[in-house]
Structure 1
């Protein structure tokens, strides 16, 4: 019996998998020799019961073993990424926030993918600006050091994950372990991450997992209305987990200690206008690109601009540039209003994409 089939049998019997068992099962998946139906069965069993921390970490262990390593991220670099799964089809807030945060001083080594629905994923948006996604396999960290933002297309760095593609398509609409773990699998091994989650149940778990795996500073955010990001449509929450003693250090008496804080985010108290979710949901891919670019440029509707800035403010806390989300928000809004965020996007597209496509998005 294969490790995958053994894991299915244990899960069907109601038992949790150990971290080692989950890793072995995922190694079978990534080998490319496992039936799609078996892969889908295990993912569904775990999702329906709710994955344990050990199961998630085991799957991630196997994913990172097969990951193509990017050049190391610059010191202090961050990632800004969401798990997806909220079903809201908002514009790509995390990509807009990445450029705004970079304009305020952060270095962003962003890991992203296409959207499984709607065509508004970070990769979809950058490809629409002429970025060659395959070329992101070389030099993403250098790009981050140069213009503040580098992008790593997930399939270019996790080619073995292609073995799970058919199973994931069969489970479209179901949140699985692989959706949760995508943001945790940054190939440049950044030590500071902002992760958006749609489920309150994962708000504390994912940053704690990142801390156990060596992150220096991890923050997870969500909106009360279920968005996997902060927004001006509703209140939100953030959980911050910092490793005591700094990056890469372990306590002499055992695993690294983590300092955890839980923060309520109330947009109205931060001076932001309450908005409706419809104000940040585009009508299609072309409008999604226009809205994302406008959120960076400061020319989109107020809801889009302020939502991007709010998430950029959280990213600046993760980067160690701002001491609070309030301070980060002010820095992000200033970066947008001054035109610095727009110029960061210009520089990135000039180096990696097609400036004419960017100008076309601005004219729409």
Structure 2
């Protein structure tokens, strides 16, 4: 117990840990070495580091434990994978934008790894919606790997691949802590290109962490509403988006406005989260059919365009957005969801039911 006490003493006094020290202490904690005191020590360790203000080296040490020690990885060679993840806890509750963006981008040749999670701060998380639409969210790794290779998209629920983290950490520490800055990047399949959405404004700090973790090309984004008061962990068409871009070891921060990429300012009421998972699922289907409202389609295209940009399928974000818009309005992106359902050995009848409802709604309104 001497090591954990020394580390806590150091943190309480405002002293920083090295990356190796952070790794060593956190590894011992998720191994449960301290018996009945383990949760107390783990909470104290994370809270003390957060109170001090964690360094990028300390957080990288924590993530080394998650990704290099705890993870049971799925290894697929010679693929340029892209992730799209969010920190959650938005002050603006929306439809499932990143899920739509992932499906759209995959149809345009981007190999997208979508991490799965049930909703914690909203009605519907990625897992909830995809399951409702017929995807087998408990598919065998071999089936999801096949989908990623052949369909350019794979859905991976994190729990089976991070057993110690789910046993010792997940669900126990809801307060802001050092893992909040980077844990969302944890995935069964490694990727070094990513869209990382934050509900906080710490884009530069998180970008420095990702650089420390050797990400090749990533956008850390915080979207805002028109007044800049409320935020989403996606690129936004409601107002400006703060972006910290990491490319080839360099970081630059800038603001993006919808009109710069050929889009109009969106209406929050058009992209607001619905009251039920079924309504949110139907909204996603309407986007993929190209039959949703303009604000929904454009915010999905903006985030899909960002994936095209970081995958280097397009030379800039505007070109990516334009291509994504054209693809969505063609109605072809729904086929990507169909492929994911079939390859995961899910229930295509569920999706067909929603497609029928969406088509009936479209006929009524036109």
Q: TM-score range by the shorter chain?
A: 0.7 to 0.9
Which of residues 222, 234, 242 is equivalent to 2:239?
A: 234
TM-score by length of 1: 0.87
| 1:73–1:109 CA contact under 8 A, matched in 2 | no
1:358 paired to 2:359: no
Equivalence for 1:334: 326
**Superposed displacement of residue 171, structure 1:** 3.6
**Superposed displacement of residue 229, structure 1:** 0.7
Deviates more, 1:338-347 or 1:175-184: 175-184
Distance 1:317 1:218 in 2: 10
1:68 paired to 2:59: no
Equivalence for 1:106: 110
Change over 3 Å in CA distance of 1:320–1:233 after alignment to 2 = same
Post-superposition CA distance 1:28-79 (Å, at most 9, x none): 2221344323322322333344321011101001111110011226522211
Post-superposition CA distance 1:273-317 (Å, at most 9, x none): 322334322223222222223222222222221111101111110
Instruction: Give 3-state SS (helix, strand or coil) of 1:51's partner.
Output: coil
**Superposed displacement of residue 119, structure 1:** 4.3
Which of residues 127, 130, 133 is equivalent to 1:126?
A: 130
Equivalence for 1:311: 303
Equivalence for 2:188: 187
1:269 paired to 2:270: no
Distance 1:281 1:33 in 2: 45
**Superposed displacement of residue 351, structure 1:** 2.0
Equivalence for 1:247: none
* Structure 2, unpaired ranges of 5+: 225-229, 359-366
Change over 3 Å in CA distance of 1:296–1:41 after alignment to 2 = farther
Distance 1:132 1:33 in 2: 36
Equivalence for 2:363: none
Equivalence for 1:58: 61
1:47 paired to 2:39: no
* Structure 1, unpaired ranges of 5+: 244-257
Instruction: Give 3-state SS (helix, strand or coil) of 2:20's partner.
Output: helix
Which of residues 161, 164, 167 is equivalent to 1:160?
A: 164
Distance 1:9 1:290 in 2: 52
TM-score by length of 2: 0.86
Distance 1:361 1:73 in 2: 36
Instruction: Give 3-state SS (helix, strand or coil) of 1:340's partner.
Output: coil
Post-superposition CA distance 1:161-210 (Å, at most 9, x none): 12334xx53443x3333332223323322121111122222x12333433
Equivalence for 1:216: 216
Distance 2:190 2:57 in 1: 20
Instruction: Give 3-state SS (helix, strand or coil) of 1:187's partner.
Output: coil
Change over 3 Å in CA distance of 1:332–1:36 after alignment to 2 = same
Matches within 5 A, 1:280-319: 280-282=271-273, 283-319=275-311
Distance 2:75 2:44 in 1: 35
Which of residues 75, 84, 89 is equivalent to 1:85?
A: 89
**Superposed displacement of residue 142, structure 1:** 2.7
Equivalence for 1:253: none
| 2:135–2:340 CA contact under 8 A, matched in 1 | no
Deviates more, 1:211-220 or 1:145-154: 211-220
